[in-house]
Chains A and B, each alone.
Chain A
């Protein structure tokens, strides 16, 4: 489904964020991307929809090469990839409905989007998605009137409104409390199952990652140092990814959760 091969990214300042990263994600698989801050997780998922331009390597989605596209073609690939963000990244002064409908921007003309006259099917789908994430009553509210968990649900609805073939999820729970984090993760996984949607989730919280994903990729200093099932994530592996720490306590916590 998604093929990433030999991606490297060197920022203008000279920092090497990614170093020859290759992996592929089959249809319907939810991959957790873990690693310390600055390991290149954010850069990696932003390379996939080219919000960050990779320095070298190639990425293809369902056989179509994403790297090296012109800006017009890039837009039509971007609309097939839904993205969910850490701080929700909703446009705060727009209504919930406008935020969800903005998922269709890649499909409609400027005039339609400017006058907010989206095709009936788009509006219907937006209502259905808001209902799915439990926010149908909030459609006309401004996004900044919602709580953190609610905003992230709007973010999810916006990404799904694109009818994506792939979800990129950047730290979905980083600004949420533990309970809401679990609810959001559960919702994301359910939705991916329902739609057989492959997803890459950047996640800081190893416990959540182990609990909710079926495959984990460990990134350290721009290189993949682990790729396997969550059960294979041993103390030794965690030490390789994050460095020396008392990892024993992690498992007891998992049981408690």
Chain B
């Protein structure tokens, strides 16, 4: 079969390539019946007038919206001056005069970040598995999705305000806030990764008579582990950045120090704090990139 059909294929290929060359020479006559232009069909609104009309409408709306914003130019000028002072402080950062406050805040923030990430990851793994449609029963799936939705719909600052009101000022409220936020973030992304795994590997493990836990351990975990580690490291640096934000509403850490510095118009100390934050986030970024490559 192979030898026979191959011969005929080769033969026909030869003749067709010959006719191709002749065709190329007088393509004008040969292809004259085909159209010479082609346009990609419009995806949304095939009617050209409607399409341009909608663009025009959007432009008008945008213009009207902009014109309702009330700008006080005197205040803007003042603000630019303040901004400049801030930048000057930023360019001459003062690490020394408030160093005690800064180092305390920093240690608090780093403690808060690490503990909340670990707690968040530990809690988000079961929630994430439960929120993956392909491995969880329907009832559990909806329960876990609900937890994720609640965690994700509340912004960190709002949760921080709540926890500060409940447990008082300080890093404990911050720890709870960040753990809670980590669950929503990590469980959602983990669940999505589990839903994307190669089902044939799951099927093969299921076919051996494996139990549900064994299935998770043998077929799911190896497939999602690198991503889980990568996401956890990413969340570690998000939590550090967030710890600076929630400190402003009283949840402790470097954010509280930063807030105090700004309140006192000590922009040089604030600049120092911002530089430290940038530096730490950069370290986290490079390390996580390295670790992610390593765990593949």
Contact = CB atoms under 8 A, between A and B. Distances in A.
Nearest to A81: B207
Contacts of B209: 75-80, 105-107, 162
Interface stretch (A125-133, A210-218, A246-254): A246-254
B205 A105 contact: yes
A134 B26 CA distance: 61
B4 interface: yes
Nearest to A84: B204
B76 to A, nearest CB: 56
Interface in B4-24: 4-5
Given A49-B207, A51-B206, A110 B214 contact: yes
A250 B3 CA distance: 11
A102 B222 contact: no
Contacts of B207: 49, 51, 78, 81, 83, 168
Contacts of A79: 208-209
Given A76-B209, A79-B209, A113-B217, A90 B223 contact: no
Interface string B205-238: 1111111011001110011011000000000000
B223 A162 contact: no
A114 B214 CA distance: 7
B201 A90 contact: yes
A138 B204 CA distance: 21
Contacts of B4: 249, 252
A91 B187 CA distance: 23
Nearest to B295: A93
B29 interface: no
A256 B3 contact: yes
Interface in A63-117: 75-81, 83, 85-87, 89-94, 98, 102-107, 110, 113-114
Contacts of B222: 91-94
A223 interface: no
A93 B218 CA distance: 10
- Say whether chain B's binding surface is mostly helix, strand, loop, or mixed: helix
A250 B201 CA distance: 35
* Interface bin, chain B: 20 to 34
B1 interface: yes
A85 B204 contact: yes
Given A85-B200, A89-B201, A75 B210 contact: yes
A158 interface: yes
B208 A106 contact: yes
Contacts of B2: 253, 256
Most B CB contacts (10 A, CB to CB) among A80, A98, A105, A162 go to A105
Given A91-B223, A94-B218, A105 B200 contact: no
Contacts of B1: 249-250, 252-253
Nearest to B3: A256
B219 A91 contact: yes
B203 interface: yes
Given A76-B209, A78-B208, A78-B209, A105 B223 contact: no
A176 to B, nearest CB: 16
Nearest to A79: B209
Interface in B47-77: none
Nearest to B1: A249
B84 to A, nearest CB: 54
Q: Which 5 residue pairs are nearest across A and B when measured between Cβ atoms? A: A106-B209, A79-B209, A249-B1, A89-B204, A105-B210
Interface of B: 1-5, 198, 200-201, 203-211, 213-214, 217-219, 222-223, 225-226
Given A93-B226, A110-B213, A113-B218, 4 more contacts: A51-B207, A85-B203, A113-B217, A155-B204
5 contacts: A51-B203, A85-B200, A92-B223, A249-B1, A256-B3
